[in-house]
Chains A and B, each alone.
Chain A
Amino acid sequence: MSNNILFVVQRPPYKSENPKLAITHAMSCYTADIHIDEPVEPTLAYVGDGVLNCIRDQRSQDIYGLISTEQHIKVQLSGDMKILVCKEDIERLGIKEERLVDGKDLGAEAGLNVVPFKEILKEMEICDHLMFF
């Protein structure tokens, strides 16, 4: 039996720790399964203003000494975590897909999955646990 956990991020980055916690919790799933002796499969979904977390070229490390959300996303992409981004929300905010993070420099084969909101709703239906950030 596996535990599918969907982490939904709905807030923009940096103002609070909340959106960053979603991705660090998702990252921790890969070690959690060692302790509970069951596979844990995390998925991240960025919706609403949360899609702003996925813009590339974030320089928080240079300016504030903070690991950027972009760096976290890249590492997870290179580890093949499934990461969804709401298509309607990037369009609403005027963000083109080429402005989004990819993990190619870290060897990630797949990038962010830009999908309609109905796909994210489907993920909410099939997951075992749903967490909103």
Chain B
Amino acid sequence: MKLGIFYSDLRGNHDMLFRLKGEKIGVFLVGNGIYHATIKEKGEPSPILQKKEIDYYVLSEDLSTRGFSTDEVDSDIKVITYSDLTDLIMNDYDKLAWL
């Protein structure tokens, strides 16, 4: 299964995220999920970014809305637009989930 996961909270369900398995897992950081890509709480990156096998994406429109620029995003995370997001969910993932 190729699974795309939308993550839209700052304090979300990390346990469930890591229990989900598939041949390809992508996490889309949208809404308040963008803080995982920008904030280093106590100097540490977000725990949800620790899985190397996951492809992480962050929505540029939601970054800008909250006062962040793409320069502030961790280099392991790909910054995407709404248009990119549409292409990804139509072409790269079989199933979608919203945590």
Q: CB within 8 Å of B: which residues of A?
A: 12-15, 49, 52, 55-60, 62-64, 66, 68, 70, 92-95, 99
Contact = CB atoms under 8 A, between A and B. Distances in A.
Given A12-B35, A14-B31, A94-B40, A49 B61 contact: no
Nearest to A68: B65
A94 B61 CA distance: 22
Given A12-B32, A92-B42, A64 B66 contact: no
Nearest to A60: B65
Nearest to A59: B64
Interface in B18-43: 31-32, 35, 39-43
Contact of A58 (B9, B11, B42, B65): B65
B11 A49 contact: yes
Contacts of B32: 12-15
A55 to B, nearest CB: 4
B31 A93 contact: no
B8 interface: yes
Interface of B: 8-11, 31-32, 35, 39-43, 61, 64-69
Contacts of B64: 59, 62-63
Chain A interface SS verdict (over half): loop
Contacts of A95: 39
B21 to A, nearest CB: 28
Chain B interface SS verdict (over half): loop
B15 to A, nearest CB: 19
B66 A58 contact: yes
Nearest to B42: A92
Contacts of B40: 93-94
B66 A14 contact: yes
7 contacts: A55-B66, A56-B67, A59-B64, A64-B61, A92-B41, A92-B42, A93-B40
A70 B68 CA distance: 13
B65 A63 contact: yes
A93 B41 contact: yes
